[in-house]
Amino acid sequence: MALKDVLIDELRDMYSAENQLVKALPKLAKGAKDQTLKTLFTDHLEETKGQVERLKQVFEIFGEKPTGEHCNGMEGVIEEGADALEKDEEGPSFDLGIVGGALRTEHYEIAGYTASIAMAKTLNLNEVVALLTENLKEEEAAAQKITAAAQPLLKAAAAQPEEAKAPKTAKEKYSAEKSREDEKKAAPDLKKHTTSTARKAA
Ligand SMILES: [Fe+2]
C-alpha cells in the first residue's frame, strides 16, 4: 500500500471520528454540571464542525470521498465517556469522570492528526499539512482548556465527603468480569516480564 493510501485511510478514520464527536459533544455539554465545562464542550462542538469541513477540503485536494472507514477507536472512547454520564456520582466527582472521557477523545484525535501530518509532510502535501495542523492546534488547545477546567473541580471533589457505594449495575458487573479476563490473559506475559526483570536485577 502506498503511503498516500495509508494517509487517506487514516484521514477517513479521522473524518468518522469527528462526525461521531459532533453527535457526542452535545451529550457531554448537557450532562456536565459545571458551567465552564458546559461552555467548553459547546464551543468545541462548533470547532469540531469546522474540523469536519477542513477534512472535506483535504479530501477535495485528493479528489477522494471522505467516507469509507468507521472509526472503532473513537466509538470505544465515546462509549467510555457515556459510561461517565451514567455514573451515580455527585457534583465535581461526576464532572471529573466526564473530564476523563473528554480528554481521551482529544488525545485520540491529537494522535491521529500527529500521525497524519507526519505522513502528509513526507509526501510534501503542504496544503494538507496546513489544514490538518489547524485541526491539531484546536485539539491541543481544547485538551489544555479541559485540563485547566478540571483544577477547581479536583479541589472541590477532594473536599466532598465519601459516600456509601451503590450496588453494581449489570453493565458494571459485566465490565468487572471483562477486566478480570484482561488480567488473566496478560498473566503469562507478565510472568515472563517479572522473571526477566528479576534476572536482570540478579
Ligand atoms: Fe476534533
**What distance in angstroms lies between residue 70's CA and the mean position of ligand 1's atoms?**
15
**What distance in angstroms lies between residue 104's CA and the mean position of ligand 1's atoms?**
12
> pLDDT tens digit string along 87-129?
888 889 999 999 999 999 999 999 999 999 999 999 999 999 9
**What distance in angstroms lies between residue 143's CA and the mean position of ligand 1's atoms?**
10
**What distance in angstroms lies between residue 106's CA and the mean position of ligand 1's atoms?**
7
CA dihedral 45, 136, 51, 95 (to 10 degrees): -10
Q: Using CA atoms, how far apart are residues 1 and 116, in angstroms rounded to an integer?
A: 15
**What distance in angstroms lies between residue 30's CA and the mean position of ligand 1's atoms?**
18
**What distance in angstroms lies between residue 160's CA and the mean position of ligand 1's atoms?**
33
Length of the chain: 202
**What distance in angstroms lies between residue 186's CA and the mean position of ligand 1's atoms?**
33
**What distance in angstroms lies between residue 191's CA and the mean position of ligand 1's atoms?**
39
**What distance in angstroms lies between residue 199's CA and the mean position of ligand 1's atoms?**
46
Mean pLDDT within 162-175: 83
Q: Using CA atoms, how far apart are residues 202 and 198, in angstroms rounded to an integer?
A: 6
**What distance in angstroms lies between residue 79's CA and the mean position of ligand 1's atoms?**
16
* Per-residue model confidence (pLDDT) at position 57: 98
> pLDDT tens digit string along 126-168?
999 999 999 999 999 999 999 999 999 999 999 988 877 777 8
Tell me which residue of 38, 56, 27, 21 sits closest to 139, measured CA to CA: 21
**What distance in angstroms lies between residue 109's CA and the mean position of ligand 1's atoms?**
6
> pLDDT tens digit string along 15-44?
999 999 999 999 999 999 999 999 999 999
